[in-house]
Amino acid sequence: MSTPARILLVDDEPAFCELCAGWLSQAGYQVATAGDLEEAGRLVSQVDPDLVLLDLSLPPSFDPQHTLSSLARFGDRPVIILTGHAQRELALEAIDRGAWDFLAKPVDPDMLAVVVRRAVGKHQLTRELDRLKAAVSKPDVLSGLIGASENIAGIRSLIARIAPTDVPVLVTGPSGTGKEVISRAIHDLSKRREGPFISVHCGAIPPDLLESELFGYKRGAFTGAERDRIGMLALADGGTLFLDEIGEMPAGMQVKLLRVLQEGTFYPVGGRAQVQIDVRLISATNADLPERVAGGQFREDLFYRIKGVMLQTRALDERREDIPLLCEHFLERWRIQQGRRPQLAPTARDWFLRRRWPGNVRELKNTLESVAAICQGEQITLDDIHLLNPDSVSPVAVGAEVSAPGVSLDEQVRALEIRLIGDALSRAGGNRSHAARALGLSRQGLLKKMERYGLS
C-alpha cells in the first residue's frame, strides 16, 4: 500500500507554516509542523518523517549554530535548511554538516517542489534498500513471541492468519503479558508494515486531552493552540493505530471513535474540513470489556466494532513452561547490550521457575536484568538475587514445589521436564546424546520431547 511521504516543517512563523504546508499538501505530502527544536524532537519519533524542512533561527535562542548542532537528532533523514539571504554562509556550513540542501526565504513554491521531490525520492529509495537488506537477515517476526505454552503457540498461529487482513483485533489479558508485542507483530506481518504503527495509551492521557491527542487541532481552537497540530489518527493513516487500555477511554470519546471507525473521517478540534483516513485498529485491555458493557461503562456497539478477532494472553503463572525460554531470551539480549555473558546457575533458574510473577513477563524481564547487572561472576546465583532483595530468597521459596494455584498437573509436569532437560543439556555442554543418557532417555526420545516443548 502506497502512503504519502511525510514531511516535518520546523519554523516559528505560523503564517509561513500554514502557507508552506498548504503547498506541500496540495502536492500530495502529509505535513506536520513544529515551532521549535523541542517540539520537532518529539514529532520525529511520532511522525517518522521522510524529510525535514528546518528554519535556521528557532526559539528560544534564535541561534543558528544551536540549530546546526541539532541536525543529528533527525537521523539519516534529509534536512533542507530554510534561511534568509544573509545566512548563505551558514546554509553552506549546514550542508557540510550533513544537510541535504538549503532554500532561501521567501521560498519559491516551484523550487520547493523540485528540491523536496528529489530529497524524498532519494530517502525512500535508501529506506527500500535497507528494508530489502533487513528482509534477508531479519528473523521471523513471530520469533519475538517467546514461549512453548499452548497459549503462545495458539497466538502465533492466529496472528499468521489474521495479519494479512484488515480485520480489527482486540488483545486482552493481564498487564505485562506482551499485548503490545503481539500488536506490533500483527502490524509487521500485515500489508501495512511500511506504514506507521502509532501507539496511544488511553489510560495515560487525561480525558480532556485525549480528543486533541487523537484528532489533532487547528490553530486557535483553544487557549494555547498557537499552531495546527496533527493528531494520532492522521499520523496512523496508511498504517496501524494501537489503542492500549481502550477500556479506560471516556464515554464521550467512545462515541467519537465509533463514528471514525464507521465513516473513516473525522474533524480536528476547531476544524471545519473533514480528514479522511485509512487505518487498521488494534486495541488492547486488561479489563473485562463484556462486564463493562453490562455495567454501562463501555459502549456495546463500540465493543462489537473493535473485537473482530480476539486474542487472549495468559498470566505467566498459568504458563510456567515459558519461564525458562523467556529467561534465556532476555538474558541473551542483555549479554549483547552489555558485552558480558553470565549464565543462570541451576539454583537461580529454579528460583525463577518457582517464583510467583504478579507483574508477568515485564516483571520477569526487569528482575532478570537487575540480577544480571549486580552479578560479578560468570554465573547468576541465589546470592545475587538475595543482594537485590534480601526478602526474595527463603527456604520456603527456594524449596517450594512448582505447583501454584490454577496450575494443572500436566502444566507442572511440562514445566518440570523443561527445567530438567535444560539442566541436563547445560551439564552436558549441549551434547544431546550425553544429556539423554543422564535423563534415562534415548536420544530420539529426548529430541521428541524437545520438539514438543519448542526447545529444538
Mean per-residue pLDDT for 407-434?
Answer: 73
Select the more confidently predicted residue: 360 or 448: 360
Predicted pLDDT at 401? 43
Predicted pLDDT at 127? 75
Predicted pLDDT at 136? 47
Task: With a cut of 70, say whether residue 198 has pLDDT above it.
Answer: yes
pLDDT per residue over 137-192, tens digit each? Answer: 444 567 668 888 899 999 999 999 999 999 999 999 999 999 999 999 999 999 99
Predicted pLDDT at 215? 95
pLDDT per residue over 255-312, tens digit each? Answer: 999 999 999 999 999 999 999 999 999 999 999 999 999 999 999 999 999 999 999 9
Confirm if 122 and 78 have CB atoms less than 8 A apart.
Answer: yes
- Dihedral class, residue 297 (left if φ above 0, else alpha if ψ from -120 to 50, else beta): alpha
Predicted pLDDT at 224? 84
Pair type for strands 30-34 and 379-380: unpaired
Confirm if 189 and 161 have CB atoms less than 8 A apart.
Answer: no
Domains and CATH numbers, the chain: 6-137 (3.40.50.2300), 141-314 (3.40.50.300), 317-452 (1.10.8.60)
Q: Which residues of 29-68 are buried (b: 16+ CB within 10 A; e: fewer)?
A: bbbbbbbebebbeebbeebbbbbbbbbbbbeeeeebeebb
Record the pTM.
Answer: 0.62
The percent of residues in the chain predicted with pLDDT above 70, rounded, is: 89
Predicted pLDDT at 69? 87
The average confidence (pLDDT) of the chain is 86
Among 227, 266, 223, residue whose Cα is nearest residue 8: 227
Cβ contacts of 120 within 8 Å, gap of 6 or more: 5, 7, 29, 50, 51, 78
pLDDT per residue over 235-267, tens digit each? Answer: 999 999 999 999 999 999 999 999 999 999 999
Task: Kindly report the three-state secondary structure assignment for every residue of 195-236.
Answer: CCEEEEECCCCCHHHHHHHHHEECCCCCCCCCCCEECHHHHC
Confidence class of residue 390 from pLDDT cuts 50, 70 and 90? low
Tell me which H or E stretch contains 386: helix 382-388
Predicted pLDDT at 305? 95
Predicted pLDDT at 216? 93
Mean per-residue pLDDT for 438-456?
Answer: 77
Task: With a cut of 70, say whether residue 433 has pLDDT above it.
Answer: yes
Cβ contacts of 340 within 8 Å, gap of 6 or more: 372
pLDDT per residue over 364-374, tens digit each? Answer: 999 999 999 99
Predicted pLDDT at 311? 96
Predicted pLDDT at 276? 93
Cα angle value 260/261/266 (rounded, 5°): 15
Q: Read off the DSSP letter of residue 75.
A: T
Task: With a cut of 60, say whether residue 395 has pLDDT above it.
Answer: no
Predicted pLDDT at 131? 62
Task: With a cut of 80, say whether residue 27 has pLDDT above it.
Answer: yes
Predicted pLDDT at 184? 94
Confidence class of residue 133 from pLDDT cuts 50, 70 and 90? low
